[in-house]
Amino acid sequence: MTNLSILSGKTYFIRTFGCQMNLHDSERVGGLLDSLGCLQASGPEDADIVIFMTCCVREAADTRLYGQCSSCKSLPKSPSGHRVVAVGGCIAQRDGEGLLTNLDNVDVIFGTHSIAHVGELLADAFIDGSRHVRVEEIDTGSATDMPWHRETAYHAWVPIMTGCNNFCSYCIVPYVRGREKSRPMDEVVDEVTGLVRQGVRSVTLLGQNVNSYGRDQGSAPRFAELLRRVGDTGIERIYFTSSHPKDLLPETIDAMAEVPAVMPQLHLAVQSGSSRILKLMNRKYTREQYLDLVHRVRDRIPHIALTTDIIVGFPGETDEDFEQTVTLVDEARFAQAFTFIYSKREGTPAAKIVDPTPRSVIQKRFDRLVKHVERTAFEYNQHALDTTVPMLIEGTSKKNDRVLQGKSPWNQTVHCPVPDGVDPRELVGKVLDVHIDVARTWYLSGLSTSEPR
């Protein structure tokens, strides 16, 4: 049995790459280290424990890790004189022990299924100075039972399920996160109830495909029921991500429209506007079915902020296929879209498709798509002009600390001047009504019309 007390008083720093799942896993790792008496450091230079939570969804995320780990070699001595460097997350899960060969200064590797064991692995590394790896599939401890270190007091990420069963042909996630596993509904609802008691006002329910929540427990998907029950906890704002279009049921759209706390925002990744490419991607819906879904959602929730993910340059994508994506963006009128150039991931079916399309052609398509997205985002924000929106204050703008920054219910960034004589830090987590008189592509701004509450 490892003596975990060696970790007490050690300082730690976690750098997170990738999606909200990783962010949340980092919060769990942080919470575990806090419970073992570790202290959060402000940067890697002040840390006895440096942890990289990695992502391998695209090659760029993958290559960054090597630079980050090497840069640890040139750090000054850590406060205790012994620094342990750990790599967790999806690259760790994918490569396991293999990472040790290329990363000569890494002491601990832990996979996405092993975060409950990070304390033992780090303690062992401090005690015997050797390297420790744990990436096995079956975990005895559940990460969702672990304590958790939240960066914000007003918002929480709440995983409702882990893993993915969809095997989109380009995507590595099912290989590094395993199959779908839903948390029991009572557990999720109790967690949100507890968060409300602690003063949390907004939650984001997390899963790779929240629409199939509950299916692995032998029932039909129960996401609509979950939304209604979470809506009864007293939480003020509910967001969720991601939603696979093939599984978005009418009853879920009803729950979104009827539960006041469910915010009018939906992330519905389309990936491509071409039915031919969608088939090759194994997405299991057509362009027409996606657009029909968008219209059905808009019928129930008229100004919903629809956001999406799009991949440009999937192997074999032609100019005609790409045109279909552009026209779909215009028709769906996305409030925001995360656009990615296709990145080959070894081990996925799409990696075997040979594609002669030059990179310069794909880059041109990408740049053109970004312009379309900017236009639909700008147009979407114009709806907010001359209306008053309740902004949940997150802090101040990076460019000006006398400007408050927060989120509208539609998840738009909102700016408003800090009221005179007020310390903006005291306003974080409060709600302020803002009358919008400027609507740009990526933010709204205006003057407050209420007291913070």
Stretch of residues binding ligand SAM (CB under 6 A), selected from 143-151, 165-173, 174-182, 394-402: 165-173
Q: CA-CA distances (angstroms) from residue 116 to 27, 44, 82, 248, 337?
A: 12, 22, 23, 32, 34
State yes or no: residue 366 binds ligand SAM (CB under 6 A).
Answer: no
CB 226 within 8 A of CB 252: no
Closest approach, Cβ 105 to ligand F3S, in A, equals 22
Q: Give the three-class secondary structure for 390.
A: strand
State yes or no: residue 206 binds ligand F3S (CB under 6 A).
Answer: no
**56 binding partner (options ligand F3S, ligand SF4, ligand SAM, none; Cβ < 5 to 8 Å by kind):** ligand F3S
For ligand F3S, the closer CB: 48 or 95: 95
Rounded to an integer, what distance in angstroms lies between the CA atom of residue 281 and that of residue 383? 34
Rounded to an integer, what distance in angstroms lies between the CA atom of residue 268 and that of residue 341? 18
Tokens of 367: 């740049």
**176 binding partner (options ligand SAM, ligand SF4, ligand F3S, none; Cβ < 5 to 8 Å by kind):** ligand F3S
Give the count of residues interacting with ligand SAM (CB under 6 A): 18
For ligand F3S, the closer CB: 18 or 245: 18
Tokens of 377: 């985002």
- C-alpha torsion sign, points 55, 59, 64, 66: positive
Give the count of residues interacting with ligand SF4 (CB under 6 A): 10
Return the H-helix or E-strand segment holding 275.
helix 275-280
Residues between 334 and 353 with contacts to ligand SAM, criterion CB under 6 A: 340, 342-343, 345
For ligand SF4, the closer CB: 12 or 290: 290
Tokens of 150: 């939240």
User: Cα 16–17–20 angle (5° rounding)?
Assistant: 85
Q: Considering only CA atoms, which of 158, 218, 213, 162 is closest in space to residue 188?
A: 158
Closest approach, Cβ 89 to ligand SAM, in A, equals 12
Rounded to an integer, what distance in angstroms lies between the CA atom of residue 98 and that of residue 199? 44
State yes or no: residue 167 binds ligand SF4 (CB under 6 A).
Answer: yes
State yes or no: residue 164 binds ligand SF4 (CB under 6 A).
Answer: yes
Q: Give the three-class secondary structure for 48.
A: coil
Closest approach, Cβ 281 to ligand SF4, in A, equals 8
Stretch of residues binding ligand F3S (CB under 6 A), selected from 65-73, 169-177, 392-400, 436-444: 169-177
State yes or no: residue 348 binds ligand SF4 (CB under 6 A).
Answer: no
State yes or no: residue 309 binds ligand SAM (CB under 6 A).
Answer: yes
Bond into 202 cis (ω within 30): no
List the one residue from 22, 114, 166, 307 that touches ligand SF4 (CB under 6 A): 166
Rounded to an integer, what distance in angstroms lies between the CA atom of residue 119 and that of residue 2? 9
Checking DSSP bridges between strand 132-134 and strand 413-417, what pairing results, if any? unpaired
Stretch of residues binding ligand SF4 (CB under 6 A), selected from 37-45, 46-54, 167-175, 431-439: 167-175
For residue 428, what are the contacts with CB-CB under 8 A and spacing of at least 6?
152, 153, 154, 393, 394, 395
Stretch of residues binding ligand SF4 (CB under 6 A), selected from 161-169, 182-190, 432-440, 444-452: 161-169
414 C-beta neighbours (distance < 10 Å), count: 24
Summarize as ranges the residues that interact with ligand F3S (CB under 6 A). 18-19, 21-22, 55-57, 89-90, 172-173, 176-177
Q: List residues near ligand SF4 by CB under 6 A.
A: 164, 166-168, 171, 173-174, 208-209, 244
Q: Using CB under 6 A as the criterion, which residues of the chain lie in contact with ligand SAM when the complex forms?
A: 19, 57-58, 170-171, 173, 208-209, 242, 244, 269, 271, 309, 311, 340, 342-343, 345
